[in-house]
Every structure is written in C-alpha cells, then in structure tokens.
C-alpha cells in the first residue's frame, strides 16, 4: 500500500519501499524466531537507511 499511494504518486522515493520492507521483515524475525542476531555492520547500514526513510516521510508531513 505504501508503494501504491506514495511512490506511484511521486511523493516518496522507491528506495524507501525496500528499506521499509527490510525493516518490517527484521522486526517480524526478531518477534517470532527463537534467536535473532544483528551484527554491527548490518545495524549501521539499516540505521543510515532508516534515517533517510524518516527524512522522506517528514517531507510528507505538512508544517
């Protein structure tokens, strides 16, 4: 739905869909798997992408 309503209409970059999907998948794994390990390099890569995603979302919020 995010892609349909925001990317298709040009409001959000398509790279953010991949970031959102990866983060959601990681959350589900950590919630439902017995063990979930995130190494420092992966964490740092997701942190950068997440901060970029947040900036993209902030642009959609009217001031």
Which pLDDT tens digit goes with each residue over 49-62?
Answer: 999 999 999 999 99
Higher-confidence residue: 1 or 22? 22
Q: What is the mean pLDDT of the chain?
A: 87
Percentage, residues of the chain above pLDDT 70: 100
pLDDT the model gives residue 51: 95
pLDDT the model gives residue 36: 73
Tell me how far CA of residue 39 lies from CA of 20, 45, 53, in angstroms: 19, 10, 21
> What is the rounded distance in angstroms from the CA atom of residue 14 to the CA atom of residue 41?
23
pLDDT the model gives residue 2: 80
């Amino acid at each position: 739905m995010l892609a349909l309503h925001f990317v298709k209409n040009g409001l959000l970059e398509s790279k953010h869909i991949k970031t959102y999907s990866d983060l959601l998948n990681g959350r589900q794994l950590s919630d439902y798997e017995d063990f979930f390990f995130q190494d420092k390099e992966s964490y740092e890569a997701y942190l950068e992408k997440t901060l970029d995603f947040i900036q993209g979302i902030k642009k959609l919020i009217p001031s």
